[in-house]
Structure 1
Amino acid sequence: MACLMAAVIVAGFSLNLVMGRSTFAVPPIYHVHAFVFFGWIVLYLAQTGLIAANNVALHRRLGVLALLWVPVMVVLGTAMTVVALRRTGGPFFFDQNEFLVSNPLHLLCFAGLVGAALVLRRRTDWHRRLMFVAMAGLTGPGLGRLLPMPLLMPWSWRITIAATTLFPLFGMLADKRRTGRVHPAWYYGIAAIAVTQILADLIAYNDGGIGLTRSVLAGSAGSARPMAAYWP
């Protein structure tokens, strides 16, 4: 499943590049952002592989990187959200206010799940499942590049978030088949993603969220498009 989640992310970005929907000719922050986020994917795969090989000692030493890596991801991801909105208006199939608010909040959700997993690292049943759900949350950008997003408007964002929970659902099914019960960590992880989205919608679609979006976009090229999702 670790390989599958990584493959979904790589496939999504590769498809965009092959189809000419993205390019390497972008400001430096895009490349830094890509290095940091794909660096996490490599770290997650390495950590999973180390446990599969029963190399617990190196797994624990390498795990210290997560304490440094995750805060950088939250900061860079939030900055990229603002840059993308101001530079291009953001993806046309997302509402700008939802994109602005939900992205950082889901990054904080990711950080919270990783933090909880690290706190519970000695309870390996919780640790690996919470890390799994955190990683699943990062598959959204890959899935969003593979799904027919324009055809899903105006629910594109919520459908993408819902699609990320398919991976934990597979984990729940595996638990059920293996042990006859579903581990509670899955419920907590999926609930965290759902509550984050509900909170994001409450913020994004009130006057404060709309006002924040307008202030972020003010004077930029991104302000030329409608705030709501639209067909170009």
Structure 2
Amino acid sequence: MSQESERGERFFLYFPWLILVTVIASFGAKAVFDADGLPPLTPLHHFHAVAMLAWFFLFALQPTLIHSGRVSLHRRLGQFSPLIVLAFIGFAIPISLLNWGRMGDPLIITANGVNLTLFLGLYISAIVYRRRADTHKRLMTYATLTLMGPAFGRIPEIFDQSPVLAVPFVFGYMLAPLVRDLIVRRSIHPATGIGFAILFAAIPVILGLSGMEGWASFLTSVLGPPAGGV
């Protein structure tokens, strides 16, 4: 393997672990330093947290297994990944409904719905391209980044700052694979370009829908009025 290839592979080896650490640190810090800001926790929240953490851990572990030559174990664990996906989505839906009933915030439920839809699309595409490692790992990376909104959102909450503080983290992580490609490949891999474009385009869609009065009325008609009204 050339020096350039080794440098490029180190990114896909360590970036997933950075994502895992970010998730653990942001939610952990929220629980320790801003516990009063947490919603009422139920067993459902704990099951959801375990299922999500299982996904982030699997995502971090898989490239490490490839790097260490344990390809067979990588494939076996990959075959179980749909079960983890079904679990965390199965818990995410009622959690989102609980949040809607408690807060009635169109932004949160819209972001959750859009991001879960994008995750499924990118995740399924990554499975389809599982035999093309260069495409597979990029699609899995951007699929996982669609799930990072709640973690990034906890950062400004911890410091009692505007949600805008999360924006640099969102864009920084979204841009990282693209910058890596430009540095190492001298061009953007198609899967990187598609992944970045999808996540970038989702931002105005989420914000635009969330700010529409008609969308809030539609959510209320489908999900019911929140406890405190919209």
Alignment TM class, shorter chain as reference: 0.7 to 0.9
**Closer, same or farther in 2 for the Cα pair 1:219/1:85, shift >3 Å?**
closer
1:230 maps to none
Shift of 1:86: 1.7
Amino acid corresponding to residue 28 of structure 1 in structure 2: P
What letter corresponds to residue 56 of structure 2 in structure 1?
A: I
Contact 1:105 1:196 in 2 (8 A): yes
182, 186, 190: which one aligns with 2:192 = 186
Shift of 1:162: 6.7
- Residue of structure 2 equivalent to 1:147: 156
Within a 5 Å distance, the mapping from 1:46-57 to structure 2 comes to 46-57=61-72
Residues 17, 74 of structure 1: alpha-carbon distance in 2 compared, 3 angstrom cutoff: same
The 3 A distance-change label for structure 1 pair 83 and 67 is same
> How far 1:25 sits from its partner (Å)?
6.5
Hey, which of these two has a bigger chunk of helix by percent?
2
Q: Which residue pairs with 1:136 in the alignment?
A: 145
Which residue, out of 199, 203, 207, partners 1:197? 203
Structure-2 change in CA distance of 1:200 and 1:187 (3 Å): same
Q: Distance in 2 between matches of 1:36 and 1:191?
A: 27
Kept after mapping to 1: 8 A contact 2:220/2:226: no
Higher relative contact order (Cα pairs below 8 Å, separated by 6+ residues): 1
SS at match of 1:26: coil
TM-score (norm. length: structure 2): 0.81
* Deviation, structure 1 residue 194: 2.6
Give the partner amino acid of 1:99.
Answer: I
Paired residue secondary structure (1:147): helix
Query: Displacement, 1:21?
Result: 3.4
- Give matches, 1:1-232, under 5 Å: 1-19=15-33, 20-21=35-36, 26-87=41-102, 89=103, 96-147=105-156, 151-152=161-162, 156=164, 160=166, 163-215=169-221, 216=223, 218=225, 220=227, 223=228, 227=230
Offset at 1:212?
3.3
SS at match of 1:171: helix
Q: Residue 120 of structure 1: CA displacement? A: 0.5
Deviation (angstroms), 1:30? 0.5
Aligned residue-pair number:
213
**Counterparts of 1:171 and 1:152 in 2: how far apart (Å)?**
27
What is the rounded CA distance, in whole Å, between the counterparts of 2:211 and 2:82 in structure 1?
A: 33
Compared CA separation, residues 111 and 161, structure 1 to 2 (3 A)? farther
Q: Secondary structure at the match of 1:21?
A: helix
Root-mean-square deviation over aligned CA pairs: 2.5
Structure 2 letter corresponding to 1:218: P
- Cα distance between partner residues in 2 of 1:180 and 1:44: 26
* Structure 1 contact 172–182 (Cα < 8 Å) conserved: yes
TM-score (norm 1): 0.80
In structure 1, how many angstroms separate the alpha carbons of the residues matched to 2:125 and 2:168?
22
Change (3 A) 1:172 1:200: closer
CA apart distance, 1:160 = 4.2
Deviation of 1:197 after TM superposition, in Å, equals 3.3
Any gaps of 5 or more consecutive residues in structure 2? 1-14
